[in-house]
Amino acid sequence: MEYKNIDWGKFNRAYPVNEELIWLNNCGTTPAGSFAIEEVTRYLTGYSHRGVFTDVQKYPSVKRNITGILAELLNCESSELALIHNTSEGINFISHGLDLHAGDKILLLENEYPSNVYPYEHWKEKDVELGFISLANTPFDFLENVINAISPNVRAISLSAVHWCTGMPLPLLEIGKICRDKNIELILDGAQGVGLVALDLRRIGISYMAFPAWKWLLGPLGLGVLYVSKEKLDSLKVIFKGQSSVVKDEEYLPYKSELRHGTDRFEYSTVSFTDWVYFQSTITMLHEIGFTNVMHRIYELSDILSSGLRNSGFRIHSDNFPGVKTGIVVADKSGIDSSELVTRLKRNNIVSALRLGRVRLAPHIYISEEQIQKVISVLSE
């Protein structure tokens, strides 16, 4: 689909939230669109009549559709993806499954979201050191911080694709090359990145990644995705083994020791299938639009917002990295408490977030340019 032929107003009308709020926290959570409501309703109606025997949606086809679209988006194989519950669960799978020893070191990101910190804290009890890479205002400076933080005992680096407080995409290609050269496992929290920036997992050299469905992919709360590179699968220990972890899992007896041959060995028990149906509807929509078109539209809306705020005297954090696109607008204004700005926005039915003393705003394709102009007007008063 050509970008110029897309009727963005159709998506604005498809989101009931627009009748009450201007939702600019799409890098936090996203509301449901009418198409998702219709698909879930259709499935639940079928389920109410025939239970698990309904033909409205079937487990194998829904899973195949979801992982197929994601595999195309991320340049990986469907078998390298598992549908889990959230990023914290995925990072815990990764962290507890790593083969590390006393004296080894894991590098994390300064001011990182807790989902990419807490799961590693158990290693301190095993004399594995946790270090933090200092944040920077530009990707180039951050890359220098990564290089300076690496010591001979670093075995893993776990980072976000896009920083949740600043909106800055990290220089993953360059970091990936460093990790390959030094035999360091590169782990990614893709929460803020998947669906917002192009992520070629093969080209970057990501060993493991986890991300949620409910941010840029517009999916439901409580559903996430785990990526384990096929080259790393057998070296990542399975901590939770359940009925669904093994081959021929529908044959309950005799018990089996052979794990599933893909990353779905981490789908250890009964899934939240209604959430799968919801998620299938949103990523199918985004896939049909074209993820590149989706990203460009988000950038376009963010640029309009940034320009309007800049003209009203706001400092825009992304001005520190002008050659790198992001959909997260982080702004503040000299002499004004950003918490007061967030409160003002809330009073005007505009949803934003306060992060590191700045206002964070994140539009998606269902937001109109008229709504963006209203936000600029409210903040410029």
The yes-or-no verdict on residue 361 having pLDDT over 80 is yes
The answer to whether domain 45-286 has CATH 3.20.20.80 is no
186 contact partners, CB below 8 Å, separation of at least 6: 156, 157, 159, 175, 176, 179, 204, 205, 206, 207
Cα torsion 81, 86, 88, 93: sign = negative
Per-residue pLDDT at 132: 97
251 contact partners, CB below 8 Å, separation of at least 6: none
The domain made up of 3-24+290-380 has a fold known as Aspartate Aminotransferase, domain 1 (3.90.1150)
Per-residue pLDDT at 86: 97
**207-217, pLDDT tens digit by residue?**
999 999 999 99
**Mean pLDDT of all residues in 219-242:** 97
The yes-or-no verdict on residue 2 having pLDDT over 60 is no
User: How far is it, in rounded angstroms, from Cα 212 to Cα 69?
Assistant: 15
The yes-or-no verdict on residue 122 having pLDDT over 60 is yes
Burial class (CB in 10 A: 0-12, 13-18, 19+), 2: exposed
If pLDDT is split at 50, 70 and 90, which confidence band does 336 have? very high
The yes-or-no verdict on residue 331 having pLDDT over 60 is yes
Cα torsion 143, 170, 190, 339: sign = positive
- Proportion of the chain above pLDDT 90, given as a percent: 98
Q: Which SS3 state, helix, strand or coil, does residue 80 take?
A: helix
User: How far is it, in rounded angstroms, from Cα 125 to Cα 240?
Assistant: 21
Per DSSP, helices labelled H in 187-272 are 201-204
**272-308, pLDDT tens digit by residue?**
999 999 999 999 999 999 999 999 999 999 999 999 9
Per-residue pLDDT at 381: 83
**Mean pLDDT of all residues in 19-39:** 98
| Angle of the 273-289 helix axis to the 291-311 helix axis, nearest 10 | 80
Domain with CATH 3.90.1150.10 in the chain: 3-24+290-380
The per-residue b/e assignment along 360-380, b for 16 or more CB within 10 angstroms, e otherwise, is bbbbbbbbbeebbeebbebbe
- Report in angstroms the alpha-carbon separations of 49 from 272, 278, 339: 19, 19, 50
CB 133, CB 175: distance < 8 Å: no
Which of 309, 319, 280 is CA-nearest to residue 372? 309
Domain with CATH 3.40.640.10 in the chain: 45-286
Omega within 30 of 0 (cis) for the link into 171: no
**124-142, pLDDT tens digit by residue?**
999 999 999 999 999 999 9
**190-206, pLDDT tens digit by residue?**
999 999 999 999 999 99
| Of 41 and 2, more confident | 41
Mean pLDDT computed over every residue of the chain: 96
The yes-or-no verdict on residue 3 having pLDDT over 70 is no
Place of tokens 């994390």: 108
Which of 118, 127, 129, 125 is CA-nearest to residue 95? 118
Per-residue pLDDT at 5: 85
117 contact partners, CB below 8 Å, separation of at least 6: 108
**Mean pLDDT of all residues in 97-103:** 98
Integer Rg of the chain from CA: 21
**40-63, pLDDT tens digit by residue?**
999 999 999 999 999 999 999 999
CB 205, CB 176: distance < 8 Å: yes
